């Protein structure tokens, strides 16, 4: 298959499109190239999965806590860029939160601009393991008593395996509902 230079936005769109079609994909971020492989009719578990957990009812005075879990299902170690993920904490708008009327809750935390990543910006994700972090949403979102829906804002991870080029992995989570008292 021939490769074609693509913009970063186009690459992310194509990755999501290929995922929805049930095809395997590989993206080499360094050169912004996409290679699609035909579906082999076998169910393949993704190498990496993301999950959010939140208690259905929370008291605002105790903080509204959410857990983020990142699991490596493969036999290989990966290094995951933590930028724009819950693994680095609140340095960007990590979540899409809406109230019971569908109105978005504004992010009120820091927004960091960066140059290129260094080795310190990656989290080791060992083979067949999970890393997790807990965050208090009340630190950066004004959550008043009421019902909310929440999902992860960023849905693509940048991953390095050994000395291979950086690859993009999907990081999709369910939409969670919770109540703040």
**pLDDT of 37:** 45
Along the chain (181 residues), what's the average pLDDT of each consecutive run of 10 residues? Answer: 44 44 42 44 70 96 95 95 95 96 97 91 96 97 97 90 88 95 95
**What are the start and end residues of each CATH 2.60.40.2970 domain in the chain?**
47-180
Handedness of CA 19, 84, 89, 47 (dihedral sign): positive
CA 68 – CA 45 distance, rounded (Å): 19
Q: What is the pTM of this model?
A: 0.73
**pLDDT of 133:** 97
151-176 as b/e: b if 16+ CB within 10 A: ebebbbbbbbeeeeeebbbbbebeeb
**pLDDT of 95:** 97
Q: Are 141 and 63 a contacting pair, CB within 8 Å?
A: no
Topology, domain 47-180: Immunoglobulin-like (2.60.40)
């Amino acid at each position: 298959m021939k490769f074609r230079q693509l913009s970063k936005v186009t690459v992310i769109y194509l990755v999501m499109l290929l995922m929805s079609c049930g095809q395997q994909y590989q993206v080499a971020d360094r050169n912004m190239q996409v290679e699609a492989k035909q579906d082999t009719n076998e169910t393949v578990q993704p190498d990496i999965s993301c999950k959010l957990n939140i208690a259905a009812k929370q008291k605002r005075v105790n903080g509204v806590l959410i857990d983020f879990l990142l699991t490596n299902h493969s036999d290989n170690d990966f290094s995951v860029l933590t930028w724009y993920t819950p693994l680095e904490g609140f340095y960007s708008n990590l979540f899409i939160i809406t109230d019971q009327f569908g109105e978005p809750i504004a992010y009120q935390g820091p927004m960091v601009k960066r140059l290129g990543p260094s080795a310190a910006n990656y989290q080791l994700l060992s083979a067949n393991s999970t890393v997790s972090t807990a965050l208090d949403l009340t630190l950066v979102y004004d959550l008043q008593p009421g019902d909310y829906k929440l999902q992860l804002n960023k849905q693509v991870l940048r991953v390095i395996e050994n000395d291979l080029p950086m690859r993009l992995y999907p990081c999709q989570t369910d939409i969670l509902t919770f109540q703040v008292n």
